Amino acid sequence: MENVADSVEIDIPNYLERLGAIARQPLSVVDGYRLELKRFADILGVRMCPECPRCNNFLYGCQDMFGCNMRPLGGILGGVASLGGGTEHQAQGAPHLHCEVHVVCVYQYCTLEEIAQKIRDQLLNVEDLVRYNEHLHKTDILDDEAQQLPSARGGGL
């Protein structure tokens, strides 16, 4: 018997049903978007409340006493010093985000001489830094053959 935790089936409404739901409850789209932004911040290890950024007008906002929203243990990418983005609205008004995430580097406040000394003292391992950055910036092509130029596939331009 298949384990229930191993499979999840979600019935997604078709386009016209989704369009009708948006027309009946347009605020639900915005509320869902705000919830997803909060989840995104949580995954990245950034403190963010439902009132962000207005909450910083009060005594207990999301920032610490130094004005930082980064959680002490960071998130899936490590420490995130800042996160900023802009919301765009698509054809039916569905919002989506374009953003930049600034990941903290172990050497970001050091001079090149200090970094070299840390490598010599074996406080920094170059291979580990390279492996982390390769992982962080990795992009996988779903269909490698489709991405090849015609000349590389044996065809002409």
Domain match, 86 and 153 both: no
Measured between alpha carbons, how far is residue 63 from residues 7, 66, 92 in Å? 39, 7, 35
Average pLDDT of span 136-146: 73
List the domain range (segments joined by +) for residue 49. Answer: 1-104
Domain match, 141 and 94 both: no
Say how far apart CA 115 and CA 107 lie, in whole Å: 6
Domain match, 65 and 99 both: yes
For 75, which DSSP code? Answer: B
pLDDT digits (tens, 9 = 90+) for 63-96: 877 778 888 888 998 889 888 889 998 776 778 8
Determine the pLDDT at residue 34. 87
Domain match, 155 and 117 both: yes
149: confidence class by pLDDT, cuts 50, 70, 90: low
Domain match, 83 and 67 both: yes
Q: What is the distance of C-alpha 11 from the center of its chain?
A: 26
Domain match, 31 and 70 both: yes
Predicted TM-score (pTM) of this structure: 0.66
- Structurally, the chain folds into a number of domains equal to 2
106: confidence class by pLDDT, cuts 50, 70, 90: confident
Domain match, 62 and 11 both: yes
pLDDT digits (tens, 9 = 90+) for 9-61: 888 888 888 888 888 888 888 888 888 998 999 999 998 877 776 776 556 67
Domain match, 97 and 110 both: no
Closest listed residue to residue 119, CA positions, set 33, 32, 111, 61: 111
Domain match, 96 and 110 both: no
Buried b (16+ CB within 10 A) or exposed e, 117-135: eeeeeeebeeeeeeeeeee
